[in-house]
Amino acid sequence: MQQLSQQRDTIQFPVQFPAKTFRLNNGLTVIHQHLPNTSVVMVDVWVKAGVSVEPDPWYGMAHFLEHMIFKGSKRVAPGEFDREIENRGGVTNAATSHDYAHFFITTAAQYLPETLPYFADILLHASIEDEEFVREREVVVEEIRSCQDDPDWLGFQALCETIYGESTYGRSILGTEEQVRDRTPNQMRCFHKTYYQPENMTIAIVGGVDRETALSLIGDTFTGFTVRSECPTRTFCPQPVLTEIRRTELRLPRLEQARLMMAWTAFGIDHLNEAVGLDMISVLLGCGRSSRLVRELREEQRLVWDIGSEFSLHRDSSLLTINADLEEQHLETVERKICDRLEQLQTVPISESELNRVKRLLLNDYAFSTETPGQLAGLYGYYSTIATVELSVTYPQHIQKMQASDLQAIAKQYLSPDKYAVTVMKNLGE
């Protein structure tokens, strides 16, 4: 074990950005990294077309469009894209967030010239046929309904609404059933033609394809963008600031354990150093058996069945959450103890051993999450979309430079025991 620990402590991270970034004549951004020792290629297309750009009241449009992209174009029939990828052993998927939507394929390098044209065509020339729109709408509605049976989804959504209100991060990515049913194919075509344009897109291509081949293939396939449209603008709503404790309580049927969800907000990607510090604090508090809250509240005092802490970095606002599963009679006690531990974090210096543990965990996690073409392409595309791609490799440097006094100052600035949002979920009872 000592030898393994020594090996982990000597992980080397790139000081310079290892990929190359290109801006094509049409405004499209391409990030390429050649990995000659792999025969796999990941193509990940990131579009600045998430919830944050949905016009009022077109809520749920970005996610619904994600579904419709895979329904094909005038040249690619519904289901044809999936067959072409899967028949060559590849995989494809997509995701929508508040800040972006992204679509990706993983394929053998030898098949990239055959599969990339299909991928580009459905993204750039999605037909959004009326009949397919109506059919897929029911799939999206069913997805929304299924979330209503998920206590953790309901609790987190309520927590976000409590914090962010009508601003971007307070809205559900899925929208509501009513909102989705109010959308029309023409509205979606307008949304697609407005935002699926080259200046809004970044293509990260990583794996066993050289630079010349990659740029040539993208230049040949990601062309002929649709004529731009102009969607209605969205009403700007500033990110709210927590100045008090905001509470929400949900009563749900058949809830076997109560839930406690607490959250604190911070600045977004423009304050990366503070974000890294909050990420480290989340690990210190609630990652692993030796973390403070897990050790005390679960292992020693047995006040919770489970507890953990997470940090989420977004473009405009970051979020640190602490979540616990517990018996209802312990809710007030656990919330009070969590606040006490946050206050302690601001007044009692973090030990060197704790600081080193947190650094090891996060540095190892970063190393393990940047090993495959898919992981690298996702990392590059994410940072390129919400900030600049070069920031993607600075994360380890920020961690290594962080001192106990820095974490203490960040905790004082952002983790007030008197200013946070909390959602409590209890059983509805008989």
Count of CB atoms within 10 A of residue 61's CB?
26
What CA dihedral angle connects 173, 124, 213 and 32, to 10 degrees?
-30
d(CA 169, CA 151): 19
pLDDT at site 166? 85
d(CA 295, CA 237): 40
Strands of the sheet with 258-267, listed across from one edge: 245-252, 420-427, 258-267, 317-326, 306-312
pLDDT at site 10? 53
CB 98 within 8 A of CB 52: yes
Distance of alpha carbon 299 from the chain centroid: 30
Count of CB atoms within 10 A of residue 223's CB?
13
Could you report the average pLDDT of every consecutive run of 10 residues in the chain (430 residues)?
40 85 97 98 98 94 98 96 97 97 98 98 97 98 96 96 92 96 97 97 98 98 94 81 95 95 96 97 97 98 98 95 98 98 95 97 96 97 97 96 97 97 90
d(CA 223, CA 70): 19
pLDDT at site 236? 74
Structure-block tokens of residue 74: 């005038």
Count of CB atoms within 10 A of residue 41's CB?
29
- pTM as predicted: 0.94
Domains and their CATH numbers in the chain: 18-221 (3.30.830.10), 245-427 (3.30.830.10)
d(CA 155, CA 422): 10
CB 19 within 8 A of CB 33: yes
Output phi, psi for 30, to 5 deg.
-125, 130
